[in-house]
Structure 1
Amino acid sequence: MKLIDKISTYNSPHPFYTFEFFPPRTDQGFENLLPRIVRMSNLNPLAISVTWGAGGNTKDTSLNLAELIQSEYRLDTILHLTCTNMEKGMVDEVLRAAKDNGIENILALRGDPPKGKEEWMPVDTNFQHAIDLVKYIKSHPDFSSSFCIGVAAYPEGHPDHLLDEETELSYLKAKVDAGADFIITQLFYDEDRFIPWYKKVREKGINQPILPGMMPIQTYQSFVRLIKLTGSKIPAEVMSDLDAIKHNDQLVKDYGVQLAVRMIRRITTETDVPGVHFCTLNLEKSVQRVLETLKWIGHSPQIVPNKLIEEPSSEEPLPSGAITPVSAANAATLGLFNIPPSENEAGRGELNKADSWDDFPNGRWGDSKSPAYGVQGPWGNNDAVNQGTISQWGNPKSITDLTTIFLQYLHSEISTTPFSFDPIQPESKLILPHLQKLTERGWWTVGSQPAVNGVDSSDPVVGWGPRTGYVFQKSFVEFFCTEEDARMIERKVAEEGDGWVHYYAANSKGECRSNVPEDGRNAVTWGVFSGQELIQTTIIERQSFLAWKEEAFSIWLDWASFYPPGSAERRLLEGVHNDRWLVNIIHHDFKKEDALWTFIDDA
């Protein structure tokens, strides 16, 4: 059913809500997302939206996911569609596939620049802006009556260009006049900015339903990265509140729920927004808790076909009286103790924690089975290579130049590398001499962690999760090196590893070597907390390594693309892409801090 028709006939004492999901990067993540969507459908969303990857890089999986949700599970679906990399005829192909599978809602977006490109350039000149998609669909005889069309709005301004508010509103009005039926806003965290903007939109004569985009804060690091990507303006008090609890993952998650509740209550009181759009990041607990706190969840579950066995959704209760970095008085001020927990059904193992087992992901090495594996920015691109960042790296023309760049990052002389979006973390500084030694050797490190044996979960450097527990880590390091060195590592592991050392090594040509069994999975970060099952947040296994490997080697080409063809810089970076190997080494003896580093030094 078309969303605009559902909105016009919606009858409930509370506003409606929609959920947004993205296609996971692995097959297992995709498979595990489906039962999660089924569980969340029992919260009665008005529709489910499916994102379109930056640069159109998820076209097939986005279509597959949207088609399954719509045709197999009978949930009204909104398919995102962008202009980026849409070659001639591809728009028709996507729209026909959507129509054939009963999808009646499209969110038309311009999209982000393809990876490695600073400026957005159209592939098909007919589709340069979102308005071109709207006009095309509305004028095409096969599609004009088939689709309800949504467009994006930016209450804080578009992150790609600095335009005055009046010009931004004129662009939005043009999209609406071209035929847009509803509007979804970019994420924001300041209702003081949204509410006046909303009133100006209405004064502009735009009467279509507007859905404010909401994303409950999940972790401090992901939130900081999000506001960098979107350019969101964060109120000082919110940043201050988060800074006080940033080392306590559970309190950050709780605060994110409470902040979303506060914002939604105020927005729905002071404006006539009919509903809210939740960006879920393919996680379910926080969104469910927001809806429970608002008392928006009805008692009649949405009926879906019995395609999947529906697993009972259950929540682990929030720890009461937990020791946290903020006092009980401060926590009460922040509103952290008035969030109602869901009931917990004990004794159901994996089934019981299906909604929460991936609540505390740890970077890219989160479990590749997770529906949230490979999370990307909302409507956005996590690309660290752009005109602003390459200025830090200068004009590398030799292997020595590249080694210097990676050493400068380790010494905090530059804040990023193409493989590290953020400045070097305090955890990495614990093993800085070892990383420096490897980098000086020409093994450019792009990922690592120290061994940790039962450190208090409140530790400000390596702690995570609830504060009543202990965390553990196996040491690992990942780097680019020559094929000769990769072969040497392989021989040393075989001869001297004694079962304590696992490795993966791969190149851009598709070769992969490892001593890990095909179905082996190495847990390298886990935690034990009061009243909870063991939580395992970081897994290194073949599928996640290969998924990352593809991205890692593409980064070299993205970087190379910023230099002229035939230049020394471009030849160097393309040569690294073609000839180097990506190696990951894990040492399983987490009781010995130096076990990995001694093993590597002996090499």
Structure 2
Amino acid sequence: MKLSEKIASYTSSRPFYTFEFFPPRTDQGFENLVPRITRMAGLNPLAVSVTWGAGGSTKDRSLELAGIVQREHCVDTILHLTCTNMEKGLVDEALRAAKDRGIQNILALRGDPPRGEEDWIATDDRFTNGKNLVSYIRSTPEFASDFAIGVAAYPDGHPESSLTEEEEIANLKDKVDSGADFIITQLFYDVDGFLRWLQKVRDAGITVPVIPGIMPIQTYASFQRLIKLCGSRVPPSIMAELEPISNDDQRVKNYGVSLAVSMLRKLSASGIKGFHFCTLNLEKSIQRVLETLKWTGPSTLEQNKLIVDSELTVSPHNATGSAKMHLMNLPEVEGEAGKGELNNAATWDDFPNGRFGDFKSPAYGDQGPWGGLLISRNEALIQWGRPKSVQDLTKLFVDHLHGRRASTPFSRGPLIPESQMILPQLERLNEREWWTVGSQPAVDGIDSGDPVIGWGPRSGYVFQKGFVEFFCETKDVDELEKRLDIHGKGWVHLIASNYKGEIRTNIPEGARNAVTWGVFPGQEIVQSTIIEQASFLNWKEEAFAIWSEWSSFYRPGSEERKLLENIRDTRWLVSIVHHDYKKADALWQFLFDGQ
């Protein structure tokens, strides 16, 4: 059924809601998302939306997932469709495929620029923005009456737009006048700001349903990336409440639930009748929010006593609250890999989207709007300059270690305190032209409340195996393999891969290395960070794509582009784990002794 018709006929006193999912990167993640959607369908969403990668990069999986939701679960589905890299033939193909699967709802979007491009450039002049896509569907007899069409809106302003709020609202009205039936907004935290914006939308003569986008905060790191990328307005009261608990993953997640509940109560009291939840393929927080609001019946999660922490209840004056899509499985800053996805299917949501998360998780590998460098060409030139030699690159990485550069393409911010603990070792690696992109020190039972190493619930202990990840030359990989035979003594695991996809490793097939784990009261041992071949190879694709994207900031044929493309083509990404976590210097002895 069309969403516009369902909204028009909706009579319940409870607000309606929709859920958004993305196609997982791995087959195992896809298989495990389907039962998760089955469970969440039991929460009675009015519809489920499925995202669409730029230029149809997730086309097959998006259509497959949308078809499963629509036909097998009998939940009305909204298929996202973007203009990025899309020509008329691809648009027609996608719309026909949606019709064949019984899908009657399309979210028409311009989409983000293709990876590696600073600016959005149309592939087909007929599809330069969301309005064009709406107009095309409505004017094409084959599709005109088959779909309810939604469009996007940005209460905090589009992050790439230089238009005034009034001009953006005028563009939104053009999309509606072209045939859009409903609006789904970008995620936000400033409720008062949203309500002011909505009134301006109504004053402009836009009468179709406006569905606010909501996403509970999952982790402090993801929240920080979110607000930087979106340019979201976050009330100072929210930041003041988050900062003291930023090192406690569970309390941040609980706060995210409490904040979402408070925002939704204020929005619904202001007359908003429906909401769109960006799930990031996670279910616990969404379910906790809905159960707290009593918008749905009891569930297995309620039976498991997943109750919002009473000491983190958000007061009404703090519900002025904004939010954006992954967290993705991003390359974190050095030392942040200890905040991973759990390997136990029952607890996948507890610490979502770690660098080396479980590839079987439905949330594994989410790039979302956070994929890529997330930086303009001008910003990249300011931060990373114009490297023309290997020595220039080495200086960039070393400068970052010492705080002389705020970031590298592989580390989005300054070196974090955990990595400061192994700064001399990281400096030594980088100075030998082994450029580090991930690492953590060995830890033998530190209090889970430790402000640098701690994570998870309090009253526990956390452990870490030392690991390091870096780019190096083929000859270096040869030398490391020799050292494994002589000095590894079974304690060291190595996996390396290059741009061509060649793999060199001594890790047994199917082995899964838990490199971070915690022991907490009343729980089984929690393994929060896992390194194994499937997740490493997925990250490897992302890592070499960063070299490609970085090179695209420089003109073809330039020294900078030639250098970066050569590095991409010739270097190896290497990950080394030393399993003796009781010896703080074990990994470094392996790497440096005798050299």
What TM-score do the two structures reach when normalised by structure 2?
Answer: 0.92
Equivalents in 2 of 1:314, 1:236: separation in Å?
Answer: 32
Q: How does 1:567-582 map to 2 (within 5 A)?
A: 567-582=558-573
**Match runs of 1:447-458 below 5 Å:** 447-458=438-449
- In structure 1, the partner of 2:9 is 9
Q: What CA distance in whole angstroms lies between the structure 2 residues aligned with 1:429 and 1:463?
A: 15
Separation of aligned partners in 2, 1:227 and 1:120: 21
Q: What secondary structure does 1:125 align onto?
A: coil
1:504 aligns with 2:521: no
Determine if contact 1:284/1:355 at 8 Å carries over to the other structure: no
CA offset digits 1:86-134 (Å, max 9, x no partner) = 1441111111111111111111111111111111111111111011110
* Aligned-partner residue type, residue 218 of structure 2: Q
CA deviations on 1:423-451 (whole Å, 9 max, x unpaired) are: 22111111111111000000000011111
Q: Secondary structure at the match of 1:525?
A: strand
Q: Which residue of 2 aligns with 1:585?
A: 576
2:376 corresponds to 1:386: yes
CA distance in structure 1 between the partners assigned to 2:38 and 2:70 by the alignment = 12
The answer to whether the Cα contact below 8 Å between 2:258 and 2:313 also exists between their aligned partners in 1 is no
| Change in 2 beyond 3 A, CA 1:355/1:296 | farther
Secondary structure of the 1:201 match is helix
Contact residue 20 and residue 51 of structure 1 kept, 8 A: yes
Q: Secondary structure at the match of 1:396?
A: coil
- Correspondence for 2:118: 118
Query: What residue is the counterpart of 1:341 in the other structure?
Result: none
Match for 1:539: what amino acid? Answer: I
Q: Deviation digits for residues 131-164 of structure 1, max 9, x if unmatched?
A: 1110111111111111111000111111111211
Cα distance in 2 between the residues matched to 1:46 and 1:318? 24
Is the CA contact (8 Å cut-off) linking 2:149 and 2:181 kept in structure 1?
A: yes
Q: Would the alpha carbon gap of residues 548 and 464 (structure 1) be closer, same or farther in structure 2, given more than 3 Å must change?
A: same
8 Å contact from structure 2 (residues 220, 252) kept in 1: yes
What is the alpha-carbon distance in structure 2 between the residues aligned to residue 389 and residue 563 of structure 1? Answer: 10
Alpha-carbon separation, structure 1, partners of 2:376 and 2:506? 36
Q: Residues 175-214 of structure 1: CA distance to partner in whole angstroms, max 9, x if unpaired?
A: 0000011100000001010011111111111111111000
In structure 2, C-alpha distance between the alignment counterparts of 1:280 and 1:225, rounded to whole Å:
17
Structure 1 equivalent of residue 351 of structure 2: 360
Amino acid at match of 1:246: S
- Give the conservation status (yes or no) of the 8 Å contact 1:315–1:356: no
Task: Find out whether 1:256 has 2:247 as its counterpart.
Answer: no
Would you say 1:68 and 2:68 are equivalent positions? yes
- The 1:251–1:315 alpha-carbon spacing in structure 2 relative to 1, beyond 3 Å, is farther
**3-state DSSP class of the match of 1:208?**
coil
Matches within 5 A, 1:276-315: 276-298=275-297
Deviations 1:461-484 (A, max 9, x none): 111111121111111111000011
Tell me the secondary structure at the aligned position of residue 347 of structure 2. Answer: coil
Query: 1:320 and 1:264 mapped to 2: Cα distance?
Result: 15
Contact 2:216 2:257 in 1 (8 A): yes
1:293-341 per-position Cα deviation (integer Å, ceiling 9, x unaligned): 1110047x9xxxxxxxxxx6566435999xxxxxx9x756769xxxxxx
> 1:164 maps to which residue?
164
Q: Give me the whole-angstrom Cα distance separating, in 2, the residues matched to 1:362 and 1:470.
A: 22
List aligned pairs for 1:146-185, cutoff 5 A.
146-185=146-185
- Check the 8 A contact 1:478/1:583 in 2, yes or no: yes
Contact kept, 8 Å, 2:343 with 2:528, in 1: the verdict is: no
Displacement of 1:33 = 1.1
How far did 1:395 drift? Answer: 0.6
Q: Which amino acid aligns with 1:317?
A: K
User: Within 2, Cα distance between the matches of 1:557 and 1:359?
Assistant: 33
SS of the counterpart of 2:436?
strand
| Alignment-derived partner of residue 550 in structure 1 | 541
Q: How does 1:510-549 map to 2 (within 5 A)?
A: 510-549=501-540
1:359 maps to amino acid: D
| Structure-2 residue corresponding to 1:30 | 30
Specify whether residues 390 and 484 from structure 1 end up closer, same or farther in structure 2 by C-alpha distance, changes over 3 A only. Answer: same
Match of 1:275 in 2: 274
**CA distance in structure 2 between the aligned counterparts of 1:178 and 1:320, rounded to whole angstroms:** 43
Q: RMSD of aligned C-alpha atoms?
A: 2.1
User: Once structures 1 and 2 are overlaid, which stretch shifts more, 104-113 or 524-533?
Assistant: 524-533
Gaps of 5+ in 2: 317-341
Match of 2:241 in 1: 241
Alignment match, 2:428: 437
| Alignment check: 8 A CA contact 1:560 1:573 kept | yes
1:349-377 residue CA offsets vs partner (Å, 9 max, x unmatched)? xx997453332136321111111112234
- Residue type of the alignment partner of 1:421: R
Deviation at 1:389, TM superposition (A): 2.7
Letter in 2 for 1:386: S
| Cα offset, 1:381, TM superposition | 4.2
Unpaired stretches in structure 1, ≥5 consecutive residues: 302-311, 322-327, 336-350
Q: Where does residue 204 of structure 2 map in the other structure?
A: 204
> 1:98-117 maps to which residues of 2 (within 5 A)?
98-117=98-117
| Superposition deviation, residue 56 in structure 1 | 4.0
Residues matched between the structures, number: 568
Q: Residue in 2 aligned with 1:309?
A: none
Alpha-carbon distance between aligned partners in 2 of 1:352 and 1:316, rounded to the nearest angstrom: 19
Using the alignment, how far apart are the partners of 2:528 and 2:132 within structure 1? 43
Q: Is the 8 A contact 2:353 2:363 kept in 1?
A: no
Deviations 1:18-71 (A, max 9, x none): 111111222211111111111111111111111123454322222222122222
Distance (whole Å) between structure 1 residues aligned to residue 88 and residue 392 of structure 2: 41
Assess if the C-alpha contact under 8 Å between 1:364 and 1:373 holds in 2: no
The reply on whether 1:317 has 2:317 as its aligned counterpart is no
Partner secondary structure for residue 589 of structure 1: coil
Counterpart-to-counterpart distance in 2, 1:468 and 1:320: 19
The answer to whether the Cα contact below 8 Å between 2:436 and 2:470 also exists between their aligned partners in 1 is yes
- 1:177 and 1:317 mapped to 2: Cα distance? 47
Q: Select the structure with the greater relative contact order (CA < 8 A; seq sep ≥ 6).
A: 1
Letter in 1 for 2:154: Y
> SS at 1:565's partner residue?
coil
Structure 2 counterpart of 1:86, one-letter code: M
For residue 360 of structure 1, give the secondary structure of its aligned residue in structure 2.
coil
Contact 1:443-1:480 within 8 A present in 2 as well: yes
Equivalent residue, structure 2, for 1:46: 46
2-side partners of 1:427 and 1:147: how far apart?
51
For 1:497 and 1:420, locate their aligned partners in 2 and report how far apart those are by CA, in whole Å.
29
In structure 1, the residue matched to 2:388 is 397
Q: Distance in 2 between matches of 1:56 and 1:505?
A: 30
- For the 8 Å contact 2:445–2:461, the answer to whether it is kept is yes
Change (3 A) 1:121 1:585: same
The farther-off stretch of 3-12 and 39-48 is: 3-12
| 1:297 partner amino acid | T
1:52–1:97 Cα change, 3 Å: same
Q: Does 1:220 align with 2:220?
A: yes
Distance 1:429 1:244, change over 3 A: same
Q: Is the 8 A contact 2:468 2:577 kept in 1?
A: yes
Pairing 1:420–2:419 present: no
- Secondary structure at the aligned position of 1:365 is classed as coil
- Between the aligned partners of 2:51 and 2:217, the Cα distance in structure 1 is 19
Supply the distance in 2 between the matched residues of 1:571 and 1:382 (Cα, whole angstroms).
20
Q: What residue is the counterpart of 1:480 in the other structure? A: 471
Shifted more, 353-362 versus 442-451: the winner is 353-362
Q: Contact (CA 8 Å) 1:452, 1:472: kept in 2 or not?
A: yes
